[in-house]
Chain A
């Protein structure tokens, strides 16, 4: 089974801190994604990557950046955390260029609280 592992289950950070959320997948998937999930808003795409060192903005990239130095690892960076970035963050990966026909495999999520 494909595994997508997010390094932290719960995280509490202070306003203004630089925050790193790590995601690792073990099945050689080309595509990786970061979402945030908020009540009533569903999942919103922050950034995605189709290959090493490639990144594309999703629907809500402001205040975030990403890094993909290795195929299996996709990091989400909050440059200066703010309270409105308190949320559940979900990482996902998928196989091949036809990502839309395979579906995504998700990690268990990181619940980030910014105080």
Chain B
């Protein structure tokens, strides 16, 4: 079965410093992987997706993620945090269960200090 684990429930960084949000996945085949962002009281917005092309995926707002098969990881990074990055981030893997529906991690809340 496919699953995804977000290793930190809460990450706090200072504005201008790098962001690292960690995600490990479990899959018996080559998965599709996504990161979504949810700003307070809003729906989820797709940040980026990996679908077996380049292992380094660039998304919106300066975020990127690297697919590492040997480590079963798909960590999200950004070189320099901005106040507007404060939100909750979800790592997502495609699943064969439930007819291929997406499987969501429990989320990482990112706080950005001035």
Contact = CB atoms under 8 A, between A and B. Distances in A.
User: Taking each of A43, A48, A100, A103, which has the highest tally of chain B beta carbons within 10 Å of its own beta carbon?
Assistant: A100
Given A42-B106, A43-B104, A50-B99, A100 B42 contact: no
Interface residues of A, number: 26
Interface residues of B, number: 24
Contact of A45 (B34, B43, B98, B105): B98
A48 B98 CA distance: 9
Contacts, number: 58
A75 to B, nearest CB: 17
Chain B interface, DSSP helix/strand/loop, else mixed: mixed
B70 to A, nearest CB: 22
B58 interface: no
A107 B44 CA distance: 8
Nearest to A100: B94
